[in-house]
Structure 1
């Protein structure tokens, strides 16, 4: 089958394989550190509020620096940015290990390390995304986008599982693991041959603020980019709210904490399986049907939680819900990458990172408000109703209905000289 040959070629792409392998390890290290941060703060201060401050510092730093980071990604060599981010994170984590070993770590240092991690992620993610069309042929970009999503889910699952275990061995042990994961990713990146960007050298850099505005205008001025960004933001916002509502509902119904943990794990497993299936679905179903189909399926599935009183059955529902979005995200991400000029891809990633991050941050707050205002099943229905409204908007949107088929060719400028 043609699809199988494409996946095989992607698997044999040495440079993509090096990048993917390094980043799945790096993602596991980051997730391990994110579990360890609040545990360390609680052990040092006993303050839950200060634990939240440290964990929140990562997301806040990533949001605040997201737009400038995207502009810098379009200005600087992207491979050097990625190498620098891995090196800086390894150094920051190593410093924290030494401070914990000597008993000198305080909340201020933990916040500083968290901020460094957030800034590095704000730079690394758009740099990697913008590099993808230059690392793999355009027909393999959908598979690469989907495998990157599977990589992120796998790294988060493994890191979350490891974090508590390593912390039990010692406060500094999770961060030792984090150091080695970033060093591993750094070495893997050294051997990645990333084609040079001739367009970046052809134009002198403008004022950073003007470059940020240029990126915002580009995204807003492209109807298909605008509507697909709306789809992603809406999905992140309402699903993160729905997730919190379901966790609270499960707790109120007396589900054991072990079953709730299984629910969360099955959500991640469903996402991984969905990401693996996404390239196959992307090749056979039009982007319009993929995107609207996901929203229609969520509209049908999300209210079913009202009738489920068993944690394992709820986990199956979570897995089914999480299985669907990666295919739509693959269609959206592929179109956005291949239809954005290379010199603007970093800023595209910065805009998407900030909007997606805001949605992910506001979603739990919205879910918490729903739980307080409409306790129990009504909160589920309100959340499902919001998803239904977005579903109708996407289904009738003329721009989305005219979305190009996955088989339509997209020209991408390719270079041969490595950075």
Structure 2
């Protein structure tokens, strides 16, 4: 069997998105700073980020339907092209000193909507690009790609905005253009023809598929709760670190070490997912968080906290690999876009609510109280995950196909 490293189509998809994600994360970190520079309003910065997130959530379910209706490669191409044009227009406006808040809000909406269209199309295309036996490895490598792109892009964005407020967006436009060119050479085997129904009916079919299967419903719940509590916990730890006088540079290292843990975890995920049962892989990440989360109460050094974050991130890619591989293999090709859309909306909602929850907890329970409450919530979910009969009966990899 041809290894993934020699799979031309997978290499094109992976490399094009690696480049695109670096540019995207560079402009994402720069966006609120630039909005603040242009408008002088912190509320405007928050508005732009909120529009991006809301657009992604609103387009998530329809995006899954379109990924199943349309040619998936074309959906990815048009998404990259639209993002390139949007950020290029903003770069030009900033260069000329003509950027306005409505323009920046519109660009944020385009970026969020395009990601909601691209992700289901990519997820649904993956099983047609790589063999089933290599799907878990491909999923884990995609996770590593995202983590590396986030770390590199975040570091690059801070530097680029110091060079010029328009520069991060010009670089982002270039990376999307390069990704577009790479995808032009991508070949995705055509999907079998599927019956077309009313758009809303097809959207509801996607929801029914996920919610009507206990194993998919439960794993979606696991992923949502994990995202919710960890997002809340992360913000609580940042607030706690600041209150304890941890230097800003060390806080930045904490975030970088979290990303590094995710990268290492993604690289070892294929081997771990082969050694562990699905239930062990999923429950393992919850147990790791349960054991590690309370330790933050006793740590006041940013580097040690970063090591703790890295440890907490290490097993998450294995659970993600197991869940995503199972979902893609068990979902018919005609429904894969919608399944991905449903999951992306669920995870995006949890990721959006998590920081809000963390902020409220940090305000109501200053100091270690918020940390212990988050850790307690994670522990309760861990017990439920460990004992859940559906997860205990989760099929092994050799019977997933």
Task: Report the TM-score when normalising by structure 2.
Answer: 0.98
Match of 1:347 among 311, 322, 338: 338
Q: Give the whole-Å Cα distance in 2 for the aligned partners of 1:177 and 1:302.
A: 37
Q: Which residue of 2 aligns with 1:307?
A: 298
**Corresponding position of 1:136:** 130
Equivalent residues in 2 for 1:176-325, closer than 5 Å: 176-200=170-194, 203=195, 205-325=196-316
Aligned partner of 1:27 in structure 2 is 21
Match of 2:61 among 54, 67, 72: 67
Q: Does 1:116 align with 2:125?
A: no
Q: Partner of 1:198: helix, strand, or coil? A: coil
Paired with 2:164 and 2:288, the residues of 1 have a C-alpha distance of 44
Q: How far did residue 409 of structure 1 move?
A: 5.1
C-alpha distance in 1 between matches for 2:192 and 2:182 = 24
Of 139, 145, 161, 1:145 maps to: 139
Corresponding residue to 1:376 among 360, 364, 367: 367
Structure 2 residue aligned with 1:415: none
Does the Cα contact within 8 Å between 1:130 and 1:349 map onto a contact in 2? yes
Query: Offset of 1:109 from its aligned partner?
Result: 0.2
Query: How many pairs does the alignment contain?
Result: 401
Cα offsets for 1:60-103 (capped at 9, x unmatched): 10001111111111100000000000111111111112211222
Partner of 1:88: 82
Structure 1 distance, partners of 2:231, 2:376, is 15
Using the TM superposition, give the Cα deviation of residue 52 of structure 1 relative to its aligned residue in structure 2, in angstroms: 0.9
SS in 2 for 1:163: helix
Cα drift, residue 208 of structure 1: 1.2
User: Unaligned regions of 5+ residues in structure 2, if any?
Assistant: none
Matched-pair contact (CA < 8 Å) for 1:283–1:407? no
Contact 2:330 2:400 in 1 (8 A): no
* Structure-1 separation of matches of 2:86 and 2:364: 42
Once the two structures are superposed, residues 358-400 of structure 1 have per-residue CA deviations (whole angstroms, 9 ceiling, x without a partner) of: 0000001111111122111111111011111111111111111
Deviation, structure 1 residue 199: 2.7
* Counterpart pick for 1:40 among 34, 39, 53: 34
Distance (Å, rounded) in 1 between the aligned partners of 2:375 and 2:393: 27
**Aligned mate of 2:328, from 331, 337, 354:** 337
Q: Using the alignment, how far apart are the partners of 1:189 and 1:67 within structure 2?
A: 24
Distance apart, 1:407 and its partner CA: 2.6
Whole-Å separation in 2 of the counterparts to 1:109 and 1:366:
30
Q: TM-score, normalised by structure 1?
A: 0.94
- 1:402 and 2:396 aligned: no
Residue 353 of structure 1 and its aligned partner are, at CA, apart by 0.8
1:117 & 1:55 partners in 2: Cα distance?
A: 11
Taking the aligned partners of 1:368 and 1:67, their CA distance within structure 2 comes to: 28
**Structure 1: any 5+ residue segments left out of the alignment?**
1-5, 411-419
